[in-house]
Structure 1
């Protein structure tokens, strides 16, 4: 029997390899399943997703989320469908992004388009074909008059007629439906006034209002764009809200990304834990964003950046008080005060009401395009609210800004914390040459590396 090529997997080995990969993946996603069970997600998408034929795949993924105990509210748009209805009826008006007047004819088209999409979504959730994610799924979809609207009115001399804005969401009824009724709630971009008038709403405004009212764990926008891109064309996977606002103010984003990012930032500012911009053209983007560490889109978060600042020489005493207990139990290598004073400009501290309760240091190795994160510490009384995550994200951002492509840490006791956050184990040979020469072999610290 001839030898196999080095990169060839035999038929006998393939099933075993696939099984191992599956088991590893299933174990990796388990923490996310536990974390999100019972949480509320608001998922919003425009009529472009339906037009692109991506509805069935999305519904199958949402069905899976529902089966895992995640509470779902769906908000759909219908702009391209309304425009098509207007065209077929011979009207010249077409809706673009942003606020546009809605006359009586356009309102009727909006009702028809919303009704058609709602029925398509309900039909998709009613599937039960064997050997598909919908097999044995029994998901009730509830729609109703949950949204009270008001007219946009006359703005700059223009009467917006039947274009409306969200006035009130019946939050208690929504909670009853998704919590007690275990149903998926579906909202169309229409609202009704106390007088019985119907108004055409912006899907983004409606989704944001619902997510804020429910204090949702996540607001997910599905769009035709990839998300927010960096200057080099790479995806910016995570943005602090203040950074998102700075990008919006710069005015350099495309219209679609700008619109979704604006509402994502507003939602986070008003209390939603996370807001996401995901590409609907990528099959499974919702699952990939939720169940993988780095995700596939852009996530907006409300970092407590007011508590985060560069360290000064006056902070050395506080930094040492954080470090010393961990030096005593062997978690950290001892650092004399003179070393901390010398390297203080590499430290970032978390401070609240004049108390420094966390710190981390970054050491750059520009020749190898690497950076080391050291002394990542949060005082025990402040742990458990994501402060370590805040410091990690800030260090990753600083490392990228310095030109680093990889971030590494040396640890003896916290390997699992870093592994859960995308670090993979390496070896001494993977370190920058200067660090290899200074590596303390008596401590036998493990090396973990993350690609930035």
Structure 2
């Protein structure tokens, strides 16, 4: 049993190491819906966040309290009131919200203070800091509906939060804000988390919520034909949001997606939507390559985009040295112009530093990743990884189940990234007919 454990644990731990190094000293804002706490997920979630914090990640935790406030109101014989997904906070609802927030904050702080032997919190010393870091303004009257004590974020004290994070503390915030006149306003957890992420220029915004992620066909049931989109560009997210019905409930497609889009537009590179129902979802999303939920990526920051006819000359200039030394098969200008829509490029300051093409073979639900090139001037900076992720994303959007490459010199690079070698007979018949048996290229496949 010990030997089997070693064979599973050691490779897993090694595979996680690059992410540990990458995320050290980064800032993550985590928004946790009140439903997760009501479902009894708080203790495990706190343990996972404490573990992430111990690996050098700065964490701001924003909790929601929607069901807790509803419960407080119900206990007083009162009904919760909403309009277009926003709570109408009268005086009774404000009292209930403040009471619920106080209870939850003490409960969360107590969980971070645990240190029992033989538990994940053993030996951990996590300091939690809360404060009046949010200035709010009233939401006002919308469509004739007076939201009373419901507010919107006016300003985030990013400097104050940053100082607390630099003290190696986790910052814990309830969705409340105060106005300059001293009024208290009930805020949406989702808006508070996205506003803080933008103000801090956070590396990640993570929503731990009721939904497992985003499905492309929001009006169809979950299933093999309608899986979770693990990664989507900001442009795709905006297109999907526009196509989805107006979101009023947290389970609606656009509810969390709206705030992920807002964060990415505000400079947060990656926003995530993950399910609280899956134990360890935070760890799975952060430290496993494909994650478990949906990640929205601002491609503009990555400088990765689909090629256009204007890029043909730059692609030719990039791949020419690799064609001359035999690394790549020679392609004519005419071929590249014809296939330009298949190409993805990485561009820095108007110069193309990397490219790759995807040629689909729909009859076998696969696609060839071809002409993979990274300039010698930027090799070792992760551009190859960015191209691979983009090609995988495009392949999934086409409904492909795998991608393959033919290579004579870079086999190990692909194997390290999840490809496996297969016999050339595996190739789709149309590609097999064009296979150069004299070149003896290795065929590598990655299943998506």
Deviation at 1:448, TM superposition (A): 3.0
* 1:47–1:79 Cα contact (<8 Å) kept: yes
In structure 2, the residue corresponding to 1:17 is in which secondary structure? helix
Counterpart of 2:37 in structure 1 is 50
* Residue aligning to 2:94: 107
The answer to whether 1:233 aligns with 2:226 is: yes
Measured at CA, do residues 177 and 347 of structure 1 come closer, stay the same or move farther in structure 2, by a change above 3 Å?
Answer: closer
Distance in 2 (CA, whole Å) between partners of 1:226 and 1:104 is 34
User: 1:396 matched to which residue of 2?
Assistant: 392
Determine the structure 2 residue equivalent to 1:64: 51
Secondary structure, in 3 states, of the residue corresponding to 1:376?
strand
Q: Which residue is equivalent to 2:69?
A: 82
Residue equivalent to 1:270: 266
* Alpha-carbon spacing, 1:190–1:402, altered in 2? closer, same or farther (3 Å): closer
1: CA distance, partners of 2:266 / 2:114: 36
Q: CA deviation at 1:24?
A: 0.4
Give the deviation of 1:158 after TM superposition.
2.8
Instruction: Look up the match of 2:175.
Output: 189
Deviations 1:337-379 (A, max 9, x none): 5654665564344567765444322222233221111112243
Is the CA contact 1:221–1:277 (under 8 Å) kept in the aligned structure 2?
yes
Query: What is the DSSP-based 3-state SS (H/G/I as helix, E as strand, rest coil) of the residue aligned with 1:161?
Result: coil
TM-score by length of 1: 0.88
State how far apart, in whole Å, the 2-side matches of 1:112 and 1:258 are. 29
Matches within 5 A, 1:273-312: 273-304=269-300, 308-312=305-309
Task: Name the residue aligned to 2:189.
Answer: 203
Q: CA RMSD in A?
A: 2.7
Q: Which runs of 5+ in 1 are unaligned?
A: 1-13
**Of 94-103 and 324-333, the range deviating more from structure 2:** 94-103
| CA-CA distance at 1:61 after TM superposition | 0.5
**Residue 252 to residue 165, structure 1, CA distance change in 2 (3 Å):** closer
Deviations 1:120-174 (A, max 9, x none): 1111111112222101011011111111112222333332221111111111111
Q: Distance in 1 between matches of 2:144 and 2:335?
A: 66
Partner deviation per Cα, 1:190-216 (whole Å, 9 max, x = no partner): 111222221111101100111111111
* CA distance in 2: counterparts of 1:185 and 1:318, whole angstroms: 47
Pairing of 1:3-402 with structure 2 (within 5 A)? 14-95=1-82, 98-179=85-166, 181-231=167-217, 232-252=225-245, 255-256=249-250, 257-304=253-300, 308-312=305-309, 316-335=312-331, 340=336, 343-344=339-340, 346-349=342-345, 355-381=351-377, 387-402=383-398
TM-score normalised by length of structure 2: 0.89
Q: Give 3-state SS (helix, strand or coil) of 2:155's partner.
A: strand
Deviation at 1:258, TM superposition (A): 1.5
Name the CA distance, whole Å, in 2 between partners of 1:264 and 1:418: 31
Structure 2 residue runs of 5 or longer lacking an equivalent are 218-224
Q: Is the 8 A contact 2:232 2:393 kept in 1?
A: no
